[in-house]
Amino acid sequence: MRDAGITERGRDPPRQRQSGFSPVSVYTHAVAPMRLLAGTRLGPYEVLAPIGAGGMGEVYRASDTRLGREVAVKILPAACSSDTDRLRRFEQEARAAGMLNHPNILAIYDIGAHEGSPYVVSELLEGETLRERLAGGMPLQVRKATEYAIQLARGLGAAHQKGIVHRDLKPENIFLTELYLVEGLN
């Protein structure tokens, strides 16, 4: 769950980024003490439970009360909200990811703000990261590794067609679900 440095080509020159969550993180870090409690409302989203936290945000399982589905809500910590560079990066990455619609890319549903802190709402993924799968001790079969590589290439291709570049591709940022490999674009 690191900052992927998602950029729109021609908008922001590549540069080193700090570690942390980005709007579309695949949320696998251990849950640290987090500030939102179950029942907290962020517009139409009701927090159900914490999922994880990192340098760029906190991620929660939430209920979308309008559509009756569970979602992931990532909120930028209040301390980061006053950092104009982080805030700009957070919003830019949310908008860039929101332009994408592909089965191998995490879907962004909404953006908003809660008590001055911006948040991003995305689909809720169930599964594990590629890093977690590899750490299980069993090597990937060639066929499965090839399948993952093809799906990853399809997701990256869709992003590149929209002028979006993922600059932090690594096993922690690749999420595996039962149906798809989801390239987290985080």
Residue 182 near residue 130 (C-beta atoms within 8 A): no
Interatomic CA distance for residues 57 and 22, integer angstroms? 7
161 part of a folded domain: yes
The model's pLDDT over 13-43, given as tens digits with 9 standing for 90+, comes to 332 222 222 334 444 444 445 789 999 999 9
Interatomic CA distance for residues 144 and 136, integer angstroms? 15
Active site residue 168: yes
Out of 34-48, 49-63, 78-92, which region has the weakest mean confidence (pLDDT)?
A: 78-92
Confidence of residue 183 (pLDDT cuts 50, 70, 90): low
Domain count, the chain: 1
Mean pLDDT taken over the chain: 80
103: number of Cβ within 10 Å = 14
Give Cα separations from 178 to 6, 50, 129 (angstroms): 25, 22, 12
pLDDT at 146: 93
Out of 27-36, 81-90, 169-178, which region has the weakest mean confidence (pLDDT)?
A: 27-36
64 part of a folded domain: yes
pLDDT at 59: 92
Q: What is the CATH number of the domain that holds 100?
A: 1.10.510.10
Helix/strand/coil for 177: coil
The model's pLDDT over 137-155, given as tens digits with 9 standing for 90+, comes to 888 899 999 999 999 999 9
1 part of a folded domain: no
Assess whether pLDDT exceeds 60 at residue 89: yes
Catalytic one among 64, 83, 110, 168?
Answer: 168
Structural domain boundaries, residue 138: 7-183
138 part of a folded domain: yes
2 part of a folded domain: no
Long-range contacts of 107-110, Cβ-Cβ distance < 8 Å, separation of 24 or more: 108/23, 108/24, 109/64, 109/71, 110/43, 110/45
16 part of a folded domain: yes
50 part of a folded domain: yes
Residue 143 near residue 85 (C-beta atoms within 8 A): no
